[in-house]
């Protein structure tokens, strides 16, 4: 496990990378901090990052939906760093209804991202805080068969997919058309899981806090599989960020492995690993 040591100079360097005008590389830069955040900050290609803040037993909230203090203070700072490094942050309307978040950057310095709410069936609350706080723009994504409502923010209409929802790829394309190519899918489980199921997540950060909730929803729920050989196996680096531990899961390498090795070969590799 790598320990992350953050300095303000290094953080400012990462913010400058994000803006495309890199400041001088700090002399005593912590390699772990760079390894965790540089892939988000650099703008060499589109990036879809997902972030889950969960307990030791894999819960993101209590059964009543209380999710306020799952992450410790360093886990929250980590989430805000991720927000500060992306163009847009995506949440499902379930999170807006449950938490009424502002999705801004407050725990660290940096610019807040554009806020995107996936609201397929038009149930975004008119009184949602983000619609009235004067912060970054809010884009609400709805199916094109939903009657126009009274929300005064930009509504992007997308065709309803055969599964009844909005296709994650169509969501990313609509954002890319608006110049938003580096995105953070922040939750909840329903929203993240649709992107993971569609194989559109490049990196997943699972931030684990040392608490046990014992019941309540998990951060990711995928289509059921019968065999562990069908489980997703990204490359993982583990970082001690202080109050929380971050598992940085790289799905890009998984995609490369799948292309290079047919399923049968992969099973042989797994058996060899176990031996
Ligand atoms: N700890 C964390 O990291 C974290 C982060 C965020 C949220 N949370 C917690 O997660 C809970 C909410 O999660 P959730 O899974 O219930 O809800 P969610 O993912 O926030 O929202 C799900 C809803 O969003 C809409 N939606 C999202 N993606 C869609 C798509 N591709 N196509 C169509 N509709 C889409 C659907 O709305 P319709 O049903 O209207 O069609 C869906 O029911 C809350 O308790 C919140 O506190 C935890």
Reported pTM: 0.91
Residue 16, in any domain of the structure: no
Residue 29, in any domain of the structure: no
Residue 20, in any domain of the structure: no
Q: What is the reported pLDDT for 256?
A: 60
Counted domains in the chain: 1
Candidates 94, 149, 171: which one to mutate for ligand 1, based on the most atoms within 8 Å of Cβ?
Answer: 94
Candidates 56, 78, 188: which one to mutate for ligand 1, based on the most atoms within 8 Å of Cβ?
Answer: 188
Phi, psi of 164 (to 5 degrees): 95, -15
Of 218, 224, 173, residue with least CA distance to 197: 224
Domain at 254, CATH number:
3.40.430.10
CA 192 to centroid of ligand 1, rounded, Å? 8
Residue 194, in any domain of the structure: yes
Distance, CA of 159 to CA of 204 (rounded, Å) = 27
Residue 170, in any domain of the structure: yes
Atom of ligand 1 nearest to the CA of 192: 19
Domain region containing 93 = 46-222+232-259
191 lines ligand 1 (CB under 6 A): yes
Which residue's CA is the closest to the ligand 1 atom numbered 14?
Answer: 188
CA 272 to centroid of ligand 1, rounded, Å? 39
Q: What is the reported pLDDT for 270?
A: 42
Candidates 67, 165, 185, 190: which one to mutate for ligand 1, based on the most atoms within 8 Å of Cβ?
Answer: 190
62 lines ligand 1 (CB under 6 A): no
Atom of ligand 1 nearest to the CA of 171: 31
Q: Which of 52-61, 120-129, 208-217, 266-275 has the lowest mean pLDDT?
A: 266-275
CA 195 to centroid of ligand 1, rounded, Å? 12
Distance, CA of 12 to CA of 16 (rounded, Å) = 6
- For the stretch 108-130, pLDDT in tens is 999 999 999 999 999 999 999 99
Atom of ligand 1 nearest to the CA of 53: 3
Q: Is the pLDDT of residue 13 over 70?
A: yes
pLDDT band at 267 (very low <50, low <70, confident <90, very high): very low
61 lines ligand 1 (CB under 6 A): yes
Q: What is the reported pLDDT for 112?
A: 98
Residue 13, in any domain of the structure: no
Residue 38, in any domain of the structure: no
- For the stretch 15-43, pLDDT in tens is 999 998 888 888 888 899 999 999 999 98
pLDDT band at 262 (very low <50, low <70, confident <90, very high): low
- For the stretch 66-101, pLDDT in tens is 888 899 999 999 999 999 999 999 999 999 999 999
Q: Which of 1-5, 53-57, 86-90, 208-212 has the lowest mean pLDDT?
A: 1-5
């Amino acid at each position: 496990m790598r320990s992350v040591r953050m300095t303000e100079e290094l953080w400012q360097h990462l913010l400058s990378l994000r803006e495309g005008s890199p400041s001088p590389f700090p002399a005593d830069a912590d390699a772990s901090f760079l390894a965790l955040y540089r892939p988000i900050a650099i703008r060499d290609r589109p990036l879809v990052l997902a972030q889950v803040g969960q307990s030791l037993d894999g819960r993101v909230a209590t059964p009543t939906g209380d999710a306020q203090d799952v992450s410790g203070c360093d886990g929250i700072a980590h989430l805000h760093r991720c927000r500060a490094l992306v163009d847009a942050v995506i949440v499902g309307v379930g999170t807006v209804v449950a938490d009424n978040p502002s999705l801004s950057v407050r725990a660290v310095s940096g610019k807040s991202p554009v806020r995107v709410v996936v609201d397929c069936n038009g149930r975004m609350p008119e009184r949602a805080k983000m619609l009235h706080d004067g912060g970054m723009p809010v884009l609400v994504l709805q199916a094109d068969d939903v009657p126009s409502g009274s929300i005064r923010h930009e509504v992007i209409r997308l065709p309803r997919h055969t599964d009844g929802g909005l296709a994650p790829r169509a969501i990313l394309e609509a954002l890319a058309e608006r110049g938003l190519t580096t995105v953070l899918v922040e939750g909840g489980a329903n929203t993240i899981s649709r992107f993971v199921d569609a194989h559109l997540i490049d990196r997943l950060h699972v931030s684990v806090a040392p608490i046990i909730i014992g019941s309540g929803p998990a951060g990711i729920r995928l289509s059921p599989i019968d065999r562990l050989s069908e489980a997703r196996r990204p490359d993982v680096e583990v970082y001690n960020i202080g109050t929380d531990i971050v598992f940085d899961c790289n799905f890009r390498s998984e995609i490369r492995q799948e292309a290079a090795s047919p399923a049968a070969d992969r099973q042989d590799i797994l058996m060899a690993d176990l031996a």
